[in-house]
Structure 1
Amino acid sequence: MKPTNEQRLNLPRTLKLGTFHIGSSFIDLLTSGVLNRILITDLALAATPVALLSALRYLLAPLSVWAGYRSDLRPPGTLRRLPFIWGGRLPMLLSLPILPFVTALLAEDPGSVLGWSLAFFAFLIYGIGTLISGATYLSLVRDSAPPARRGQALAIVQVFLVISFPLAGVIYGRLMPVYDQASFWRLVLIGMTIAFAFIAFALWGAERPAETTAAVDPTPPEPFLPLLRQMWSDPRARWFFMFLALGAVSAFAQDAVLEPFGGDVFGLDNGQTTRFNAYWGAGVVLSLLGTVYMTRHRAAHEQTGVAKIGLALTGIPLFLLSVIALTEWQALLIPVLVLFGLGFGIYTVGAVSLLAAMTTERHAAAYLGLWSMTQLLFRGLGIFAGGAIRDIALFVSGSYTIAYAGVFLLEALGLFVCIAILQRVDVPGFVRGESRPLGASATLAAADG
């Protein structure tokens, strides 16, 4: 049976929305990849404070739930998502010119109070912008697709993210193969220009207020805190939270240390380690596209098995990376990074589809905000943990190989535990019961609030 026009995904519109992620990747890679490498390897700073800076935006993640809740409350016939998206992305862009001042000050004095203060300020602005705009962008994508195709729409825009990260890595690697202050300034300005162009293109005419008028629930909205309590009272939501939390910690603990790993263990230069993103990103693109195609007829709530396979195929390469770190077997490094990307792509399709399923019509952005908050908060904790584990292991062992091997091994173990946790999440049951009204206890709590 062919889908009707109302059930079909508007592919051109979804692809246009996906270009938003191209702009986002050019912003994110400057902070999560290039700057980390400069501070840890080129300027020889400790990984722990650098990782803490990278984690700062994730530690502010509850803002994403609030932003989603507020966008859900926007009245019919108005722009619900775009004000929050632009209100977040513009501060992110404006934080980037601060970064070259940070590197210049810390190059002169690694303990510069002004340098670290500027770094904190830049990452604070950047983090707030990320959180205000992230969940509302996902809600915009979800709103643009029919219910049966929402997981597919979210997976398609995710393809743009993983394609653009390696693309940005190659471009940045060519623009600045070796760090110097003038090259870093040029890199930041070019990255800002590219990012703004793609974000503006993606968001131009992206939200159509008239489309939201018929679906708005006329009943009064629940207050914020009682709504959160109601969401958390469902055991399926709690297990899903644990799955997302441990998955984010385990998958991203390498984020701040992967490029320094190439420099510290194998002596690779800045241009070579920046291309790490291209290697594993190429694997993500291949598996993401293949998995989206293979699962295109599945509803979002039917993707639990895909997520489990992806978890296993992401954990195995991380285990292999720990072996490579111990043996310093450089010949296997690039193939294993590609394998890591292949597994991560499968995991991403499964997890993103489950995100789309674990929402309700009335509180779509609030649920997506909660899940985004979980991923961001624990991704940040993972990034910080990766840097801290590396530093502690290095202090204890005096060996870079043992330090990095420890990070990768713990990541692999965490991903395998996630498979067991996901077994406890009844996603189809959540979808069948998603239209349940607030219970009596939650209604009383709302009255008290």
Structure 2
Amino acid sequence: FFVFIVFTFLGIFTQDLMQEVWAGDVFRLSVGESTVFQQIFNGMVTVGMGMTAALGARARGAKARTEALPMDDKKRIATFGGWSATLGFIMLAVASLTAQVTLAHLAFAVVGFTVGMFTFAAVTVMSDMTVEGQTGAYLGLWSIAQALGLGASFIVGGVLRAALVETGLMSAPVGYAAIFGVEAVFMIGGVRLLRGVGVEGLRRDAHRFAP
């Protein structure tokens, strides 16, 4: 589960710090104009999380909490969100290759909404991935994974941009498209890792290695 968190943070945030330079290099947008991408992404993340929470609660009954959904249902929602976000990153790659700013707007809306779905489901899964008597320790461990994944995503994004675009190895549209492709690969890896996640296995292993 630790590796799953790191992979998904790499998938989601590798492009985060380079949105403005990407917009300038590919679409010739100013810094002010490029902020619309982040606004669309953040706004749709909020919408995706809110709708997932509402629909999850409704599926269990009007008074039920989404947190009460079975683990398998949470994993299905996260899996759907992850695969859909992968499609969004592919759309961003195409937008970069074709310099279609309208497609980029649509792609960020898709990525934001589906990342919101994925994030809400993944967070509820994380709240279940604990061992009795050690809840704080495991939640702390998952927080470390998030911090590690976020930091690594910024480093990976910077290294990829420097290696592919700044060196002239690839043109800006192709180089950034490749970076979005890498993000799609990380998301695919995260979704595949989620299949093996289960609280029963976590608790069994914890008892096995307990002193």
> TM-score under structure 1 normalisation?
0.42
* 1:327 counterpart (98, 114, 117): 98
Which runs of 4 or more aligned residues in structure 1 lie more than 4 Å from their structure 2 counterparts after TM superposition?
436-439
The residue aligned with 1:403 is 175
Aligned with residue 272 of structure 1, among 17, 26, 33: 33
- Alignment partner of 2:87 out of 291, 316, 330: 316
**1:422 is the counterpart of 2:183:** no
C-alpha separation in 1, matches of 2:171 and 2:155: 20
Number of equivalences: 200
Which residue does 1:343 correspond to in 2?
114
Taking only aligned residues, the RMSD between alpha carbons, in angstroms, comes to 2.1
User: In the aligned structure 1, how far is the partner of 2:119 from the partner of 2:102?
Assistant: 27
Alignment of 1:160-179 (within 5 A): none
Q: Deviations over 1:208-264 (max 9, x none)?
A: xxxxxxxxxxxxxxxxxxxxxxxxxxxxxxxx1221121111111111112211122
* 1:292 paired to 2:56: no
Taking a change above 3 Å as real, the CA distance of residues 243 and 437 of structure 1, as seen in their structure-2 partners, is: closer
Query: Secondary structure of 1:321's match?
Result: helix
Name the CA distance, whole Å, in 2 between partners of 1:437 and 1:342. Answer: 35
Residue 210 of structure 2 is aligned to residue 442 of structure 1: yes
- The amino acid across from 1:276 in the alignment is F
SS in 2 for 1:397: coil
Residue 16 of structure 2 corresponds to residue 248 of structure 1: no
C-alpha distance in structure 2 between counterparts of 1:353 and 1:310, whole Å: 14
Largest Rg, 1 or 2: 1
User: What secondary structure sits across from 2:210 in the alignment?
Assistant: helix
Pairing 1:151-166 to 2, within 5 Å after superposition: none
Q: Corresponding residue for 1:387?
A: 158
Taking the aligned partners of 1:386 and 1:326, their CA distance within structure 2 comes to: 18
Q: Distance in 1 between matches of 2:192 and 2:107?
A: 25
> In percent, how many aligned pairs have the same letter?
28
1:367 aligns with 2:128: no
Q: Any unmatched runs of 5+ in structure 1?
A: 1-239, 444-449
TM-score normalized with structure 2 length? 0.86
**Residue 125 of structure 2: which of 354, 369, 379 is its match?**
354
Distance in 2 separating the partners of 1:387 and 1:400:
14
The residue number in structure 2 matching 1:8 is none
| Distance across 2 between alignment mates of 1:319 and 1:246 | 17
Which amino acid letter does the alignment assign opposite residue 186 of structure 2? G
SS at match of 2:16: coil
RCO greater where, 1 or 2, for CA within 8 Å and sep 6 or more? 2
Report the residue type matching 1:268 in the other structure.
L
Q: Is the 8 A contact 2:129 2:198 kept in 1?
A: no
Report SS of the residue matched to 2:41: helix
Q: What is the one-letter code of the residue matched to 2:12? A: A
- Structure number with the higher helix fraction is 2
**Separation in structure 1 between the aligned mates of residue 139 and residue 79 of structure 2, nearest angstrom:** 21
Distance 1:318 1:249 in 2: 13
CA–CA separation in structure 2 for the residues paired with 1:343 and 1:385:
22
Q: Deviations over 1:302-351 (max 9, x none)?
A: 41111101101111111111111111112211111111111101101111
Structure 1 residue 391 displacement after superposition:
1.2
User: Counterpart amino acid of 1:326?
Assistant: L
Gaps of 5+ in 2: 61-65
Following TM superposition, by how much is the alpha carbon of 1:438 offset from its aligned partner in structure 2, in angstroms?
Answer: 4.8
- Give the corresponding residue for 2:63: none
Measure, in 2, the Cα distance between the counterparts of 1:437 and 1:337: 40
3-state SS, counterpart of residue 114 of structure 2:
helix
